[in-house]
Copies of this chain bind each other. A is one copy, B any other.
Amino acid sequence: MTLHEAERTIEALIFAADEPLSAGRLAEILGMDPKSIPALVERIQRRHQDGALMVREVGGGYQLVTKPEYAPWIEKLGRPVVHAPLSQASTETLAIIAYRQPVTKAEIEEIRGVRCDSAINNLLERELICELGRKDGPGRPILYGVTEKFLVHFGLKGLEDLPPLSIT
């Protein structure tokens, strides 16, 4: 086996392995001297200089991983991207929470006359509202309020910045 072939085979092995592979293990599989492994890994590293992957030495072994700067992108994997703006139901629920916070789900539902579970979940996922604690009294219901992110999105310094209402 040429050094060129050995280098590629190491790349394939550390890519496919479930755990980091030590120089000893690689040498054993390839039938080579363990001392020659680090230089070959160095060559793989150089070949990937211009790409998104790198060889990481961890726990006495080598592993192929993505370079750290790609972490924010990889975090998005598995997370569905939702382009939809707020629905009417969510908008109403958000308005009530903004003007009435801290407020319970039951109180919101009384105003809207319909259930708000999915609207609340949606607003929580969008991080526009958050739980503020629990109300004293029967069932100790959760109290909701708007978040810092809500203020930022609407360009408000604080809740006192909300336009005053003509009726209350």
Contacts and interface: CB of A to CB of B under 8 A. Distances in A.
Contacts of A84: none
Contact of A73 (B29, B73, B81): B29
Contacts of A67: 12
A28 to B, nearest CB: 5
A8 B51 contact: yes
A16 B74 contact: yes
For the complex formed by this chain, how many copies does it contain in all? Answer: 2
Given A29-B73, A73-B29, A12 B53 contact: yes
Interface string A90-122: 000000000000000000000000000000000
B9 A73 contact: yes
Given A29-B77, A79-B17, A81-B28, A12 B47 contact: no
A21 B76 CA distance: 12
A15 B52 contact: yes
Interface string A128-154: 000000000000000000000000000
22 contacts: A8-B70, A9-B52, A9-B70, A9-B73, A11-B51, A11-B53, A12-B66, A12-B70, A12-B74, A13-B70, A13-B77, A15-B52, A15-B53, A16-B74, A16-B79, A17-B79, A18-B78, A29-B77, A29-B81, A44-B51, A47-B50, A47-B51
Interface of A: 8-9, 11-13, 15-18, 21, 28-30, 44, 47, 50-53, 64, 66-67, 70, 73-74, 76-79, 81
